[in-house]
Amino acid sequence: MRKARRKLGDDDSGVDMTPMLDIVFIMLIFFIVTATFLNETGLDFTRPADGGGQSSGDPKPVIPVYVDEQSLCSVEGFPRECTEVDIAVEGHLANKPGATVLIRVHYAADHYVQVMLKDRFTKRNLKTKFEVVGKSG
Amino acid sequence: MSRRRSRIDVQEEDTELNMTPMLDVVFILLIFFIVTTVFVKPAGIEPTKPFADEDKEWNPTILIAVNEIDEIWIADQPYEVNEIRPILQSMKDETPEATAIIIGDREASSGVIWEIQDMVQDLEIQTRVSTK
């Protein structure tokens, strides 16, 4: 008699899991559906924080590269194919060791040119500095 | 009578499935999806990205797309350069650890990309320029 009652009590204390299971499933489905797995890749165009002219004593040599509004490139004032800018800069680097590449980009120049230049100079471990010129209205 | 009923009860109990292992799996899946979910608002357009070799993987939470006519798209809405600062500011306030990506079309203006880059950097949001 006593044994039987205890058994009955055990059964009753078993919590009904069904409502919790329903909620858990709904949450699971929600998170599966909303999960977006984006795989973006990118280049770091972050400008270095202003060093406050820490090397103002000896101005670093600079190799100027210009990209005009028609997305045409020039190095030190001489027109160059944009795909050959890095080779031209490499040549100038012999005269100006440790130089920074100053890339002046016209406001209306196509975006892919600066990405290509940044990519190539990153590959060659050259420091680049970007400047935007000629803001149009 | 009472004997018969009790026998039926026993049979019912036996046919009940043991849910515990399934519950365990479901919970693990749930926790996985909760942890990995980042709520990213899609930009609304898919610009033709410029190509690069040296690009690195980047997991942004803010997508800023610029198309070939220099419209800036954030969360399915087009904006002008001078309109996006408050939007980015509110996104930054919402999630302080937010990171961004600027998805510029190949033919977008370089100047617009730089204006966005400088603005995002000014708001102290880590950002990259998207490439493929």
User: What domains are there in chain B, each with its CATH number?
Assistant: 2-36 (no CATH), 62-129 (3.30.420.270)
Residues of A within 8 A of B114 (CB-CB) are 45, 105, 130, 132
Report pLDDT for A1: 46
pLDDT at B16 over 80: no
Query: At a CB cut-off of 8 Å and minimum separation 6, what does A75 contact?
Result: A63, A64, A65, A66, A85, A88, A89, A92
Asked whether A109 and A67 are in contact (CB, 8 A), the reply is yes
Query: At a CB cut-off of 8 Å and minimum separation 6, what does A128 contact?
Result: A100, A101, A102, A103, A117, A118, A121, A122
Side-chain-side CA neighbours of residue B8 (13 Å): 5
Angle between helix B110-122 and A111-123 (nearest 10)? 70
Q: What are phi and psi of A69, to 5 degrees?
A: -65, -15
Asked whether A119 and A43 are in contact (CB, 8 A), the reply is yes
Comparing B4 with B84, the larger pLDDT belongs to B84
Report pLDDT for A38: 77
Report pLDDT for A48: 83
Residues of A within 8 A of B121 (CB-CB) are 46-47
Residues of chain A that touch chain B, judged by Cβ-Cβ distance less than 8 Å: 11, 17, 21, 24-25, 27-28, 31-32, 34-36, 38-47, 67, 105-116, 118-119, 122-123, 130, 132, 135-136
pLDDT digits (tens, 9 = 90+) for B56-69: 888 888 999 999 89
The structural domains of chain A, with segments of one domain joined by +, span 8-34, 62-133
pLDDT at A69 over 60: yes
Fold exhibited by the domain A62-133: Nucleotidyltransferase; domain 5 (3.30.420)
pLDDT digits (tens, 9 = 90+) for B45-56: 889 999 999 888
Per-residue confidence at A77, pLDDT binned at 50, 70, 90? confident
Q: A110 and B108 in contact by Cβ < 8 A?
A: yes
pLDDT digits (tens, 9 = 90+) for A83-133: 888 888 888 888 888 888 899 999 999 999 999 999 999 998 888 889 888
Whole-number average pLDDT of chain A: 81
Distance in angstroms (rounded) separating the CA atoms of residues B96 and B118: 18
Helix, strand, coil percentages in chain B from 3-state DSSP, rounded to 5: 45, 20, 35
**Both tokens assigned to A74:** 């020039």
